[in-house]
């Protein structure tokens, strides 16, 4: 049996090869590589998919978050509350605009922000909250918006891992004031390179983000603000436009795979499975189990390397929470400050999940996991 990778992007390409090739060749032949109709039509399609009036495409999910913060005027002295259990980009952009990230702990069941701890973290300097719909599982946006509105705070949803996910019947990215998406190749809607988008129902915010992504320009060579260069190029727009038509099918396949994992893995001791549905609709960017740690040891890494010997590549997202990263030493957090996030970092293991994963491959993953757990105990 051949190795099972965590994702298989080449296999996905094969399923839509003819369409992608034709679209790419037509962009190459057009001589129009930046901006243009393809970017505009993608923005319209993505706005309508997400259920918002405005979409601004940009160069990455990181830039989407950065532009969102800039459009709200968030700057030095301001605080932005977010989760320590996410990819660095979520907090990095807060620092990039000169503001301070404030981390609150996670809910161990969902791996998302623990909303019970949110209000206590709000100060007079708090300007915004960035919830992350981690691994594709939506945050309880009803509760989060109620708290944010009561304190007059902006909400920027980090939807990088959750394109197509829903909370209370609404797509993520349409519930907060701004939604930020990544089209990094391994996300649910992935380009063949970098890409991202911002969604909002606020026209003024969209206009400001359009200006900032293009050097602070609304009229060429006249600059009203210090912007950046963050455009989605036409080739990537052509590609994500095609892939958007398949996204719901791919997300449904991910969901089937997740359900099958639940069935195949449910009676196994030593691990905790992600909840199938804790409100909302997950799009399963990751299927992340916990390998329960004991008082003196965390067996996760051993399980991972034993699985690898059996040809199954699992991943650790994330091994170190953001509040303990060297870059954030100055913020004053210590080991033990945010225990649920720290425990997650010791225990999480993401199993291969991608729409094309076959039943046979999944059985191989389950077999490798079971064997690796037995060896360990």
User: By C-alpha distance, which of 149, 66, 135, 69 is closest to 107?
Assistant: 135
Which CB, 132 or 154, lies closer to ligand PLP? Answer: 132
- Whole-number minimum distance, CB 213 to ligand PLP, in Å? 14
How many angstroms separate the CA atoms of 184 and 182, rounded?
6
Please say whether the beta carbons of 95 and 213 come within 8 A. Answer: no
Percent of residues in the chain assigned helix, strand, coil, to nearest 5 = 40, 15, 40
- Whole-number minimum distance, CB 319 to ligand PLP, in Å? 15
Which CB, 140 or 194, lies closer to ligand PLP? Answer: 194
How many angstroms separate the CA atoms of 321 and 159, rounded?
19
Which CB, 122 or 132, lies closer to ligand PLP? Answer: 132
What tokens were used for 231?
């455009």
- Whole-number minimum distance, CB 88 to ligand PLP, in Å? 8
- Residue 197 pairs in a beta bridge with 57, 181
Which CB, 61 or 173, lies closer to ligand PLP? Answer: 61
Residue with nearest beta carbon to ligand PLP: 61
Instruction: Give the binding site for ligand PLP (CB under 6 A).
Output: 60-62, 86-87, 89-90, 132, 158, 160-161, 182, 184, 194, 196
Mark out the alpha helices in the chain (DSSP H runs): 9-15, 17-30, 37-50, 61-71, 89-96, 118-121, 141-150, 203-212, 234-244, 247-265, 300-309, 339-347, 359-376
């Amino acid at each position: 049996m051949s190795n099972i990778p965590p994702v298989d992007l080449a296999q996905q390409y094969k399923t839509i090869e003819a369409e992608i090739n034709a679209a790419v060749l037509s962009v190459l032949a057009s001589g129009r590589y930046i901006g243009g109709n393809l970017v505009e039509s993608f923005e319209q399609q993505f706005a309508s998919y997400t259920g918002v009036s405005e979409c601004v495409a940009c160069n990455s999910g990181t830039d989407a978050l950065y532009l969102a913060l800039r459009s709200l005027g968030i700057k030095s002295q301001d605080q932005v509350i977010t989760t320590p259990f996410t990819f660095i980009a979520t907090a990095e952009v807060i620092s990039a605009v000169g503001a301070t990230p404030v981390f609150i702990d996670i809910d161990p069941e969902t791996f998302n922000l623990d909303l019970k701890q949110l209000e206590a973290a709000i100060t007079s300097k708090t300007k915004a909250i960035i919830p992350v719909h981690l691994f594709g599982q939506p945050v309880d946006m009803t509760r989060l918006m109620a708290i944010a509105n009561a304190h007059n705070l902006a909400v920027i949803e980090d939807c990088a891992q959750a394109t197509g996910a829903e909370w209370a019947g609404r797509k993520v990215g349409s519930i907060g004031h701004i939604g930020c998406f990544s089209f990094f190749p391994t996300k649910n809607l992935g380009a063949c390179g970098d890409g991202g988008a911002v969604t909002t129902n606020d026209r003024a915010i969209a206009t400001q983000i359009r200006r900032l992504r293009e050097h602070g320009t609304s009229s060429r060579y006249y600059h009203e603000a210090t912007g950046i260069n963050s455009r989605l190029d036409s080739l990537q727009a052509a590609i994500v436009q095609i892939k958007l038509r398949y996204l719901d099918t791919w997300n449904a396949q991910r969901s089937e795979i997740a359900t099958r994992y639940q069935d195949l893995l449910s009676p196994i001791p030593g691990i905790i499975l992600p909840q199938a549905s804790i409100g909302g609709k997950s799009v399963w960017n990751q299927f992340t189990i916990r390998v329960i740690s004991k008082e003196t040891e965390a067996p996760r890494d051993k399980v991972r390397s034993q699985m690898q010997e059996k040809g199954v590549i699992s991943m650790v997202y994330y091994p170190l929470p953001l509040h303990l990263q060297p870059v954030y030493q100055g913020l004053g957090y210590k080991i033990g400050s945010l225990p649920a996030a720290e425990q997650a970092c010791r225990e999480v293991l993401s199993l291969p999940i991608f729409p094309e994963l076959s039943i046979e491959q999944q059985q191989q993953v389950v077999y490798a996991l079971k064997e690796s757990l037995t060896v360990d105990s």
